[in-house]
Amino acid sequence: MDMTGWEIENPGENLLAVNDKNLKAFMKAYPLSALSPDGTMLFIIRKYHPTLNCSPDDQNHPSDSFRMCLAYYTASTYFFFELPSHFNYNMLSVRYDQNIQDLAITISSREMTRVTNVKELFLKLESFAPKTDAEKEAAFTSLNNEIPPQKQRAPITQTEVSSTVIGMLKNADFDDWWVSEPHKIGFLNDVEMNFTITDYNPNEDENFMEEADEAIRNFMSKTLKDREATTAHVYQNCMDFLDAIGYDEADQHLWDIKDHEEIWNYVTPREIYVTREPYEDKGVYLRLTFSCEWEQEHGLQLVFNKSGKLVRVSDDDGHILGWQGHGMLTD
């Protein structure tokens, strides 16, 4: 069977191990993959589902059409950049470029070859805003391995930040992540959970904590009654997923649900994240994520805006607002 580029399940984890055997075997067998010289960044060109962040050959979401993307992995992050889908790609390589003092990425196809870098890819080929294939080709053609002007990031000197609602949050695994002590969550019948604020530099975003506190305060005021109001959306998320993958006897207990409130018996709270949306309205949102029995790979997320309104119910795809409206609520 021909390789698709999806053979490695968790590339970030493979990058944590020095000379990972599975990663080495994958790269040797799949020519549209490349590793940075220091082994910390992995690039893979592969086909994606036309609307979802998975392969078009995914058994749960099969599709005859696709997007072609360049995946970019580090040990802790993952992004993908959309490439022209009608090109025939045949080579991918990465090297350190002394001229730009950064990595240069060579993407070759029968149609054309371009050299670029990660910063330029984020500027020209970010994947959140939908583009036509003609727009993707124009953006790809414009790649010339220039480093876009970068705003100098203010250093983070704090080890904790303060919320007027949930108290002190301490610096976490990354310098711009902050974690609170556990708090009882009325929306979840007083289950205790930590809040994690992500991608927040207190020396750059002066209004963030005020907006975050509004989001947290409105979420903390919710009760089981508010959860009941979201039940129909969570149940529908389950049914839509089951419809998409087709009947499986193992899911019969989910198909048999009569009282929609029973859906909560099949989800387990996982994390609460508060962050600023980086692509569209730049607002502050709260994401409540769950493990769930029907979507065991990606789980479930509920996204609330800072006013406390539920705006999205979807699989936990790493985005706040849905690409092409995926999971967004209109009522």
Pairing of the two strands 267-276 and 195-197: parallel
pLDDT at residue 1, as a whole number: 58
| Rounded Cα distance, 6 and 14, in Å | 13
- For residue 129, the tally of other CB atoms under 10 A from its CB is 11
Cβ(86)–Cβ(132) under 8 Å?
A: no
Which residues on adjacent β-strands are paired with residue 191?
Answer: 185
What secondary structure letter does DSSP report for 325?
Answer: G
Average pLDDT value for residue range 178-198: 97
Is 80 exceeded by the pLDDT of residue 116?
yes
User: What's the pLDDT tens digit per position in 117-173?
Assistant: 999 998 899 877 778 899 999 999 999 999 888 778 899 999 999 999 999 999 987
In which band, very low, low, confident or very high, does the pLDDT at 248 lie, cut at 50, 70 and 90? Answer: confident
Average pLDDT value for residue range 206-226: 97
Cβ(72)–Cβ(78) under 8 Å?
A: yes
In which band, very low, low, confident or very high, does the pLDDT at 202 lie, cut at 50, 70 and 90? Answer: very high
Mean pLDDT rounded to a whole number for the chain: 92
pLDDT at residue 319, as a whole number: 83
Residue in the structure block whose two tokens are 């993407």:
107
pLDDT at residue 12, as a whole number: 82
Q: Tell me the whole-structure pTM to 2 decimals.
A: 0.66
Extract the tokens encoding 220. Answer: 């903390």
